[in-house]
């Protein structure tokens, strides 16, 4: 999630091309060059890249710990590699976004990979506390399908959010003019509609969990997701009606990461191994 925040800071401060190339920051140097004309932008971008390196070390350690745990099932051990693969892919796509002058499609994929990493990490953390027996759902099939639909709509919400951002004013660099050739208002409304579908599914699921006497852990996870969703929606509307100020946009990105993790957690709490 910290990487989502720092990546957002890069974009919102216009530091997307603070480092002019990749994997180096400047030709012949992996760090920003110091001279009189140096601005803060290279250091913001370099800080984001440094955090990616720190995250890379962490996911390598996690992968080694999970994959070498012979007491666990093969599927769990194999899943331990997913965050590592995601970080490598995320770094490469991030580099491509610099080399392609912050093409909004590439930048959007970069963010979606980050969100996928958040979801995968939440699932891996939950799986760490599970056993390795067959999956046993703790709720009726209706609630299971509602949860799966909720996760699917969450993915649509994130994808439309990327398009909204790619058509808006925060391109990552003041000199980069290329944006998605779509009506920002129309896309924002589509994004909002998807969010309301998500809210409707979540409320339906929560009511079913409460009435059906679902485990307390599952109900708490759903309540937390509802709270995050409402806060995220409030921030979304606030930023839309106030001209997309950088602080609110940054909070909205953090909220998207929290919503992603909470959605994954909610789905996982409906089962047991």
Average pLDDT, consecutive stretches of 10 residues, N- to C-terminus, the chain (273 residues):
80 76 81 68 83 90 93 91 93 88 88 94 92 89 96 97 84 67 89 97 97 94 97 94 89 95 96 88
pLDDT at 204: 97
Pairing mode, strands 271-272 and 136-137: antiparallel
The pTM for the full model equals 0.91
Helix axes 246-268, 104-128, angle to 10 degrees: 40
Rounded Cα–Cα distance for residues 42 and 98 (Å): 12
What does the DSSP 8-state code read for residue 28? T
DSSP H or E stretch at residue 31: none
Residue 208 CB contacts under 8 Å (≥ 6 apart), including other chains:
139, 142, 143, 146, 214
Instruction: Please give the pLDDT value at position 177.
Output: 56
The token duo for 94 is 């991030």
The first and second tokens of residue 24, run together, are 């180096």
Supply the pLDDT for residue 50. 86
Identify the three-state secondary structure at position 137: strand
Please report, for the chain, the start and end positions of each structural domain, with discontinuous segments joined by +. 2-272
37 by Cβ neighbours in 10 Å (0-12 / 13-18 / 19+) ranks as exposed
Name residues whose C-beta falls within 8 Å of residue 242's C-beta, 6 or more positions apart in sequence.
248
CB neighbourhood size of 253 (10 A): 24
- CA–CA gap between residue 138 and residue 118 (Å, rounded): 24
Q: Which residues pair with 29 in a beta bridge?
A: 26
């Amino acid at each position: 999630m910290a990487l989502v925040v720092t990546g957002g800071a890069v974009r919102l401060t216009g530091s997307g091309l603070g480092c002019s190339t990749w994997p180096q920051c400047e030709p012949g140097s992996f760090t920003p060059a110091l001279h009189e004309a140096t601005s803060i932008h290279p250091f913001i971008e370099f800080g984001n890249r440094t955090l990616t390196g720190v995250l890379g070390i962490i996911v390598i350690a996690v992968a080694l710990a999970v994959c070498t745990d012979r007491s666990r099932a093969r599927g769990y051990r194999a899943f331990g590699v997913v965050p590592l693969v995601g970080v490598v892919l995320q770094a490469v796509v991030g580099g491509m976004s610099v080399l392609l002058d912050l093409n909004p499609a590439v930048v959007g994929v970069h963010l979606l990979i980050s969100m996928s990493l958040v979801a995968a990490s939440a699932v891996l953390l939950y799986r760490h506390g599970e056993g390795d027996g067959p999956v046993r759902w703790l709720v009726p099939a209706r609630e299971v399908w509602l949860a799966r639909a909720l996760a699917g709509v969450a993915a649509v919400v994130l994808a439309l959010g990327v398009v909204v951002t790619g058509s808006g004013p925060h391109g990552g660099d003041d000199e980069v003019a290329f944006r998605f050739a779509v009506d920002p208002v129309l896309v924002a409304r589509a994004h909002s509609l998807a969010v309301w579908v998500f809210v409707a599914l979540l409320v339906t699921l929560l009511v079913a969990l409460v009435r059906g006497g679902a485990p307390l852990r599952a109900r708490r996870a759903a309540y937390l997701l509802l709270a995050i969703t409402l806060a995220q929606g409030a921030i979304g509307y606030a930023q839309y009606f106030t001209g997309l100020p950088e602080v609110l946009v940054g909070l909205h990105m953090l909220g998207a990461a929290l919503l992603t993790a909470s959605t994954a957690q909610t789905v996982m709490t409906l089962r047991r191994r």
